Structure formats: C-alpha cells, structure tokens
C-alpha cells in the first residue's frame, strides 16, 4: 500500500458517509505493515523500475466491479481532467494533513483517558469525572475519549455517531 491507496480509501469512506480514517502503517488487527503509505505510487514505480526490481500488478486492479478500482481508474482521472493535473497531489496532501490531525486528536483523547485512570465505569463518582472531562473537551476529542472508554470497558468499538450519543448522554 502507498499514498495513492490512502487517497482512494479516503474518497471511498467519504462517499460512503464513513469516518475518513486513513489506513494505519501498522494494522494490529490484521497484522499488516504498510511502510510506504506516505510514498506516492509514481515514486515507488520509478524506484522499482530504476533498480530492475520485478513488480507484480494485481490483475484485479483493472476490474472496475470494485469501488476502489472505479475511484482509481475512473473518478481520479476524471477529477484530474476537470480540476487539473495537481488534483491527485492536492488530495494526497489533504489525506496526510487529516492523518496528522487525527493522530493529534487521538493523543489528546488518550491523555484524557489516562487522567481518568483507574477506570471504574460503574462508579458514580468516576462517571461524574468522565462527564466533566467530556464537557471540557471539544467534540472532536470528547467522542474519541468516549470511544476509548467504551473499547476499554465494554470491549466494543463505537462509531463516531454512537460515541457522540454516549457523550450526549453523559454530559446531558
């Protein structure tokens, strides 16, 4: 996977009204390492070609039955034709900026949860402390705190919408 895959994933998730979460470099759930996520496809292609490295293209990449391939093969070239040749580069920069912002927000949420340790989800005083922390945070941090707490306490990962609902219930 490379930076262009990140752009495709971003657009797919955005168009499906899903959180445009970028692919992580290390996906612990799938046990997948993606060391080239910040490198554009074109640069990787030149590197491989310049060194005579054998490259294998997945034949399914040409199959426009799949949404990702329609975005890669049809949508992105059309956007470049309409907007201009810098479209892909602009999208890449946006994806990188969003990934950086998300990392920052996730770190702020982790710090909030750390400040609440030890977690006692059933303890009324702890729930009051949690509500106070959520009240003090911007929405972008608060829902991430709620998601982390739910994941840690219940073992269930909440969507952004569900985490926002939890924040609303706790904050009132």
List, for residues 24-52, the tens digit of each pLDDT value: 888 888 899 999 988 888 899 999 999 99
Strand partners, 36: 2
pLDDT (mean) for 109-130: 85
Out of 13-22, 97-106, 132-141, give the one with best mean pLDDT. Answer: 132-141
Query: Which 3 state secondary structure label does DSSP give 36?
Result: strand
**What spatial distance separates the first Cα and last Cα of the chain, rounded to whole Å?**
43
- Reported pTM: 0.72
d(C-alpha 146, C-alpha 151), whole Å = 9
Residue 73 reports pLDDT greater than 90: yes
Q: Which of 18 and 169 is assigned the larger pLDDT?
A: 169
Secondary structure of 49-101 in HEC code, one letter for each residue: HHCCCCCCCCHHHHCCCCHHHHHHHHHHHHHHHHHCCCHHHHHHHHHHHHHHH
d(C-alpha 139, C-alpha 4), whole Å = 30
């Amino acid at each position: 996977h490379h930076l262009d895959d990140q752009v495709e994933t971003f657009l797919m998730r955005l168009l499906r009204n899903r959180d445009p979460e970028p692919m992580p470099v290390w996906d612990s759930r799938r046990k997948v390492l993606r060391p080239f996520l910040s490198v554009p496809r074109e640069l990787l292609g030149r590197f491989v070609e310049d060194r005579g490295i054998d490259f294998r293209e997945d034949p399914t990449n040409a199959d426009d039955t799949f949404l990702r391939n329609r975005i890669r093969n049809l949508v992105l070239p059309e956007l470049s034709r309409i907007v201009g040749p810098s479209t892909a580069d602009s999208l890449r920069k946006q994806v990188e900026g969003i990934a950086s912002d998300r990392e920052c927000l996730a770190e702020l949420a982790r710090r909030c949860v750390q400040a609440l340790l030890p977690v006692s989800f059933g303890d009324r005083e702890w729930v009051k402390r949690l509500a106070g922390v959520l009240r003090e945070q911007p929405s972008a941090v608060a829902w991430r705190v709620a998601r982390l707490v739910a994941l840690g306490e219940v073992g269930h990962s909440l969507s952004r919408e569900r985490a926002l609902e939890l924040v609303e219930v706790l904050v009132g």
